[in-house]
Amino acid sequence: MIYTAKVHDVLDGSAQVQGTSVLVDRLWPRGVAKTDLEVDLWLKDAAPSPELRKWFGHDPERFDEFSRRYCAELDEGNADVDKLRDLAKAGDVTLLFAAKDRDINHAVVLKGWLE
């Protein structure tokens, strides 16, 4: 099964990690020391391209188009996407993200794409 969890919720104990924990943000979460976050893998290239991320800007009105474009990027594949797909086939995975919005973010799209 694939889960999503906000990094800050994991750090404060309000969310739990199931299976392998994978940070799927291109940038390390702001305000989080690398020693504070126990993460199994950091797959930067599974995140949206910088251009797509900037275009989206977490605008809810752009989320459907963002989702379509991001899925197209995922379909192109890369080593991190392939690794994540293999992990998801092998067992439980929790996708960690730092976006403020828990429902409108790339990890939600990535989860759907993997499923």
What are the angstrom distances between the C-alpha of 61 and each of 57, 67, 94?
10, 11, 27
Crossing angle, helix 63-76 and helix 106-114, to 10 degrees? 50
Percent of the chain with pLDDT over 90: 83
Residue 12 has pLDDT above 90, yes or no: no
Tens of pLDDT, residue by residue over 28-58, are: 999 999 999 999 999 999 999 999 999 999 9
Question: In this model, does residue 106 exceed pLDDT 90?
Answer: yes
The pLDDT value recorded for residue 97 is 94
The residue ranges of every structural domain in the chain are 2-114
